[in-house]
Amino acid sequence: MLPPRAAVARDYAIDRAALPRGVAIVLSLLAAAGAFMLFLQFGWSDGVDIIDVVRALLILISTWWLAWGAVQGLMGLTTRAEPPATQLHDPLMARCVVLVPVYNEDPVTTFSRVAAMDESLQATGFGDLFHIAILSDSRNETIAARERLCFLRLVQDRGAQGRMFYRRRETNTGKKAGNIEDFIQKSGAAYDLALILDADSLMEGATIVEMARRMQAEPDLGLLQTLPVVTRATTRFGRAMQFSAAFHSPVFARGLAMMQGRTGPFWGHNAMVRVRAFAESCGLPELKGKPPFGGHIMSHDYVEAALLARAGWRVRLDDDLGGSFEEGPENLVDHAKRDRRWCQGNLQHVRLLPAPGLKPWSRFVFFQGIMAYISPLFWIGFMLASIAAPYFAPPPDYFPEPYWPFPVFPQAETAKAIGLAIGVFGLLILPKFAVALHAAMSGRARSFGGAARAFASMLAELLFSSLSAPVLLAYQTRSVFQVLLGRDGGWPTNNRGDARLSIRDAWATSHWVVSTGILGLVGTWALAPGLVVWMLPVLLPMLLAPFIISWSSRPASSGLFRTPTDLAESPVMRRQREILAEWETEVTAPKPDATTAPRQSVTV
């Protein structure tokens, strides 16, 4: 049973979330209904046929999804990220473990991040309350051997005997979720809180301590999610994505935070959980059947958040917390590989929508995740239906009125078609322009190099995303069909090395995109030549896919896409870079006396 104050806070959180949720739903449905009616008026100008109804329904669904995202971004501009009202007066007493799951990662880079975070934690004065456990699922024996050597070096350099641990599982059952679950089952009783990271995560010690304080002060808080900032991108693709994440994501996250109530998000990393709540609530079932829809749950983070909320625990995104960092894919192909895994995991949630006891918002989050991947199918269906539309349209009737000797020509509806196109495109770009204007007026743009540079970067990112979106849409659509056809994509290792791709490499991975673009162009020209101009913004980037992929994978050289971490590097980032440089210039093997390091496992 929750304490009275916690119960009051719970009810207040639910009530406070009801209004923004309702506003977002109503506004997005109104936008979708407007597009639906406008298209019907346009489509029925030459007579009523079934294909126009199909196209209108596809526009309805697609526009609702675009409008939902746009409304969330615009709502995020109405308030600022602020810390919760809870007063943190009590001394920090909670015992916390930092969990670092690794899977065939570069050990030198990964362990240098751990060293920097530990140094940052020690500087807060609370370092002794935090243990660090590196949980290896690496299948490559060479990498595993280097992990053990780097761990010994880490323990020696940090003087961390008794508070740093390493263990490698014999089998990686359940992938990352199974790795975390294994630790919680065997060693979780030793800790009150656990900070879950990814191998590329980096966090300031002060941020970690603040998260522990907030968790300690609110006994019903089961999970606290930060908003990780993407850092250290070097390629054109990576820099554009890093700028977009830094410039736009805080605003969209603010909109999400306004709607979360007690059922906030969990993104699988850079988040702190209450160990008891996690252990009691988040045991994941193995779904019946074979992958991709059966087997272990891949997108486990959404499910764990839903299970915590079902058990009465609060899940919250505190978007005011800084000092939380991650790294992202550096080229379009690596992004598509990661997206393939997310696609399979999100579509797998179809099996979980009817799960008993889930909160309505949790089910809606599952639905959103599914829509994020199937929404391109609606746009593709609309384009195909538009190409086929002339063959379904009834023959024109120029004499609809009997005994009237003069022909009646159909009313031109071109203006409505153009208006609909402008409206749909506006849903994509309006939030970005609104964010840029708000950043200039509030002064936030200064941390991006000034208002002029931030606006130029926003326009450049918008142009690049317009060019790359059809290519990404092709990869995403293929992923959806692969899952629907029963193909398991597995859990590929992230590529964190050289991201540059030659034209030949890009062609090898995207020739099918080019072929699809050619087929689409020829088919449109043959069946509906009047639509060729309208289809070029989609088909032309597909024809140029290898060049777009290769060009965007090369190092960025312009002064655009500056972010706050470029202008003012975080202390933990700077220290990790220094440690990494030191470790890379030396032999990665431990120093001679490192054999005295503690046993490389922990069980309690």
Task: Assign 45 a pLDDT band (cuts: 50, 70, 90).
Answer: low
Sorted by sequence, the CB contacts under 8 Å of residue 140 that are 6+ apart come out as 104
Of 584, 580, 601, nearest to 116 by C-alpha is 580
Position 15: which residue type?
D
pLDDT of residue 592: 42
Instruction: Using the predicted structure, report yes or no on whether residue 7 has a pLDDT greater than 50.
Output: no
Residue 390: C-alpha distances to residues 381, 394, 527 (Å): 15, 9, 8
Task: Assign 594 a pLDDT band (cuts: 50, 70, 90).
Answer: very low
Contact 203, 323 (CB under 8 A): yes
Structure tokens at 454: 């931030």
Contact 457, 436 (CB under 8 A): no
CATH topology of domain 96-331+571-590: Spore Coat Polysaccharide Biosynthesis Protein SpsA; Chain A (3.90.550)
- The whole-angstrom distance between residue 175's C-alpha and the CA centroid of its chain comes to 19
Q: Are strands 271-274 and 202-203 parallel, antiparallel or unpaired?
A: unpaired
Of 477, 449, 316, nearest to 384 by C-alpha is 477
Instruction: Using the predicted structure, report yes or no on whether residue 133 has a pLDDT greater than 60.
Output: yes
**Dihedral angle sign, alpha carbons of residues 106, 226, 73, 568:** negative
Position 467: which residue type?
L
Contact 228, 11 (CB under 8 A): no
Q: Are strands 96-102 and 130-136 parallel, antiparallel or unpaired?
A: parallel
pLDDT of residue 404: 56
pLDDT of residue 408: 45
pLDDT of residue 528: 87
Angle, alpha carbons 549-552-554 (nearest 5°): 115
Instruction: Using the predicted structure, report yes or no on whether residue 44 has a pLDDT greater than 70.
Output: no
Mean pLDDT over 430-457 rounds to: 95
- The whole-angstrom distance between residue 446's C-alpha and the CA centroid of its chain comes to 26
Decide: residue 354, CB within 10 A, 0-12 exposed, 13-18 middle, 19+ buried.
exposed
Mean pLDDT over all residues of the chain? Answer: 88
SS3 62: helix
Inter-axis angle of helices 4-43 and 414-442, nearest 10? 150
Sketch the domain layout of the chain as residue ranges. Answer: 96-331+571-590
DSSP-assigned letter for residue 591: P
Residue 88: phi and psi, rounded to 5, are -105, 80
Instruction: Using the predicted structure, report yes or no on whether residue 407 has a pLDDT greater than 70.
Output: no
Position 208: which residue type?
I
Instruction: Using the predicted structure, report yes or no on whether residue 599 has a pLDDT greater than 90.
Output: no
Q: Give tens-digit pLDDT for 411-439.
A: 545 555 666 677 778 888 999 999 999 99
pLDDT of residue 280: 95
Of 500, 506, 492, 491, nearest to 553 by C-alpha is 500
What single string gives the DSSP state of each residue in 535-571? HHHHHHHHHTHHHHHHHHTSBP-SS-S--HHHHS--H
pLDDT of residue 534: 86
Buried b (16+ CB within 10 A) or exposed e, 456-469: bbbebbbebbebbb
Contact 212, 96 (CB under 8 A): yes
Instruction: Using the predicted structure, report yes or no on whether residue 366 has a pLDDT greater than 50.
Output: yes
Cα separation, 231 vs 11, in Å, equals 37
**One-letter-per-residue 3-state SS of 415-474:** HHHHHHHHHHHHHHHHHHHHHHHHHHHHCHHHHHCCHHHHHHHHHHHHHHHHHHHHHHHH
Q: Give tens-digit pLDDT for 212-270.
A: 999 999 999 999 999 999 999 999 999 999 999 999 999 999 999 999 888 999 999 99
Task: Assign 14 a pLDDT band (cuts: 50, 70, 90).
Answer: low
Q: Give tens-digit pLDDT for 151-171.
A: 999 999 999 888 999 999 999
Instruction: Using the predicted structure, report yes or no on whether residue 393 has a pLDDT greater than 70.
Output: no
More confidently predicted of 85 and 396: 85
pLDDT of residue 396: 53
Cα separation, 459 vs 436, in Å, equals 10
User: Which of these ranges, 462-476, 506-520, 524-538, has the smallest mean pLDDT?
Assistant: 524-538
Cα separation, 381 vs 397, in Å, equals 29
CA neighbours within 13 Å on the CB side: how many for 232?
A: 17
pLDDT of residue 232: 94
Output the pTM of the full model. 0.89
Cα separation, 188 vs 185, in Å, equals 6
Question: Is it true that the peptide bond before 292 is cis, omega within 30 degrees of 0?
Answer: yes
Mean pLDDT over 463-468 rounds to: 95
Mean pLDDT over 352-360 rounds to: 95
Inter-axis angle of helices 451-484 and 414-442, nearest 10? 130
pLDDT of residue 558: 79
H/E run at residue 273: strand 271-274
Cα separation, 278 vs 195, in Å, equals 12
Structure tokens at 197: 């990271």
User: Which of these ranges, 142-156, 396-410, 558-572, 587-601, has the smallest mean pLDDT?
Assistant: 587-601
Of 573, 517, 563, nearest to 543 by C-alpha is 517
pLDDT of residue 593: 45
| Residue the block writes with tokens 């024809």 | 543
pLDDT of residue 544: 97
More confidently predicted of 598 and 511: 511
